Amino acid sequence: MLNEKNANLLGDIRPGTAMNAVFKRMWLPVMTSNHLAPGSDPEKIRVLDQSYVAFRASNGQLAVFDEKCPHRGCSLELANVQDDSLRCIFHGWKFHVSGKCVETPNEPDPRFPSRVPLKSYPVKEAGGAVWVYFGEGQAPELPDLIFNLLVDDQLCSRRAVCDYNWLTGLEAILDPSHLGILHSSWIQKAPDSSSSVDLGAAGANLAPTLECEETDHGFRYVTLRSMGDGSSYIRVSEIVAPNGVFIATTDPGRKLFIMSVPIDNYTSMQWYFRHSPDGPMPESDRSWAIGRSDLDDNDFYQTPKTQPRWGQDREAMRRGESFTGFTDIMFEDFIVGESQGAWPDRTKEFLGTADKAIHFARQYLLERLKSDVPPLPKPGTPLYHLQALAARIPGDEDWRRVTETEQAARAERYAGLRG
């Protein structure tokens, strides 16, 4: 459980809060790169309980401004798109994609536009997403997470909007024991892989041992499952503080980074950065990534929300065909998260031994929030070589050693990507 004070400290991301300040020190993905075509309508976006407007000029450049016109606060979502600019429909003030006000037709002074305090934010496109820095001052480097260094045909980056607090989204990824239960029907249908990654093993042993340790990029946790034949099945997840996690998938070629980004206290974006660092992503992987979710990359979780009980198929449950009555593994996570409540009462929880990583994450965040060191990667820490790991290792092998060896090998293999 968390007491109310700590629950608020972690969950509350409104302007002025400690977590808001943390998120404003980092680049945040706000929409998929393919969402806005050149010259398309401006789009209102909400992040960190504030509203912005994004548009892509016909020259392909993208801009993110405060949603409200700096003049009288008319929404720029309503603006005209003209000459690589947004023109407010109220008094015709015109804002160029470069972030400058270039015309104010109702003001005679020609120097007037240059004095208009348009709030424009640094934007970058990488990893199939549009990243924005909402903080003050000089933006830091865009994180060199490996998918940010890859090209389009190596990526399948998708975004879902879920009706729950960002912490719920993070904690869903820090909860390894649900894998063999919530996703049990899915695991049984997953192609049995003879590779080192073995979701069947995850399902076979429902009560793994969990260990966590702090790192320069945040922390990592490992689940250790004794396999009966003297070997251990380990799954190591790397948490890039405060809100992103590399988790292991069924196929060693399929890499996945999940990130929970707050929209407001009751809504968050769940990002799925699937990537294939060693070459183009096969079409089969792309369709596997989409699964049975909705096709819109920028909002792939729509259908269940429109249906009673999220469209749960009770008949399939009665027939024993499906444990959850849901068909998509990602939907299963979103739906249980939403069912906990948009702002769950964490003072009423009862954590068990399987919840160590969740508790570790909360303590990590709380300790940092109460100190001078923000819950972010240590400045200058390289991230490009981080990946999750799933492997069968001899029972007497130390998982830390295996993790470090793998990481060192990746650091060498992918060093060239950093340019």
Partner 1 sequence: MDALLALLARTSTSVMSDALQKCGIDGQCRGIGPINPGDRVHGVAVTARISPYNAASKHHAEYMDLLGPGSVPVLDGRGIREGALWGDLRATVAKRVGAHGTVVDGMVRDRDGCRELGYPVFARGAHMLSGNKLAWIEERDVPVTIGGVYVRPGDFVLGDGDGVLFIPRDAAAQVYDQAAPLQEADERMLAALRDGMSLVEARNVYGLKSILPPR
**Which part of the chain contacts partner 1 (CB under 8 A), choosing from 111-119, 126-134, 347-355, 387-395?**
347-355
**Which part of the chain contacts partner 1 (CB under 8 A), choosing from 81-89, 163-171, 324-332, 359-367?**
359-367
Residues 113-152 that bind partner 1 (CB under 8 A): none
> For the stretch 187-220, what's the b/e string if a residue is b when 16 or more beta carbons lie within 10 angstroms of its beta carbon?
beebeeeeeebbbebbbebeebebbbeebebbbb
Residue 181 interacting with partner 1 (CB under 8 A): no
**Which part of the chain contacts partner 1 (CB under 8 A), choosing from 173-181, 184-192, 237-245, 348-356?**
348-356
Residue 226 interacting with partner 1 (CB under 8 A): no
Figure out which of the listed residues 16, 108, 109, 350 binds partner 1, where binding follows CB under 8 A.
350
Min CB(356)–partner 1 separation in Å: 5
Nearer to partner 1, 7 or 76 (CB): 7
Residue 178 interacting with partner 1 (CB under 8 A): no
Figure out which of the listed residues 1, 181, 373, 408 binds partner 1, where binding follows CB under 8 A.
1
Nearer to partner 1, 178 or 359 (CB): 359
Site size toward partner 1, by CB under 8 A: 14
Figure out which of the listed residues 225, 355, 376, 393 binds partner 1, where binding follows CB under 8 A.
355
Figure out which of the listed residues 193, 347, 409, 415 binds partner 1, where binding follows CB under 8 A.
347
Residue 363 interacting with partner 1 (CB under 8 A): yes
Residue 359 interacting with partner 1 (CB under 8 A): yes
Figure out which of the listed residues 302, 353, 378, 411 binds partner 1, where binding follows CB under 8 A.
353
Figure out which of the listed residues 87, 159, 235, 356 binds partner 1, where binding follows CB under 8 A.
356
Nearer to partner 1, 78 or 366 (CB): 366
Residue 351 interacting with partner 1 (CB under 8 A): yes
Residues 389-418 that bind partner 1 (CB under 8 A): none
**Which part of the chain contacts partner 1 (CB under 8 A), choosing from 19-27, 72-80, 259-267, 344-352?**
344-352
For the chain, the three-class secondary structure string (H helix, E strand, C coil) is CCCHHHHHHHHCCCCCCHHHHHHCCCEEEEEECCCCCCCCCCEEEEECCEEEEEEECCCCCEEEEECECCCCCCEHHHCEEECCEEECCCCCCEEECCCCEEECCCCCCCCCHHHCCCCEECEEEECCEEEEECCCCCCCCCCCCHHHHCCHHHEEEEEEEECCCHHHHHHHHCCHHHHHHHCHHHHHHCCCCCCCCCHHHHHHCCCCEEEEEEECCEEEEEEEEECCCCEEEEEEEEEECCCEEEECCCCCCCEEEEEEEEEECCEEEEEEEEECCCCCCCHHHHHHHHCCCCCCCCCCCCHHHHCHHHHCCHHHHHCCCCCCCCCCHHHHHHHHHHHCCCCCCHHHCCCCHHHHHHHHHHHHHHHHHCCCCCCCCCCCCCCCCCCCEEEEEECCCCHHHHHHHHHHHHHHHCHHHHC
Residues 2-31 that bind partner 1 (CB under 8 A): 2-3, 6
Residue 104 interacting with partner 1 (CB under 8 A): no
In the complex, the residues that contact partner 1 under the rule CB under 8 A are 1-3, 6, 347, 350-353, 355-356, 359-360, 363
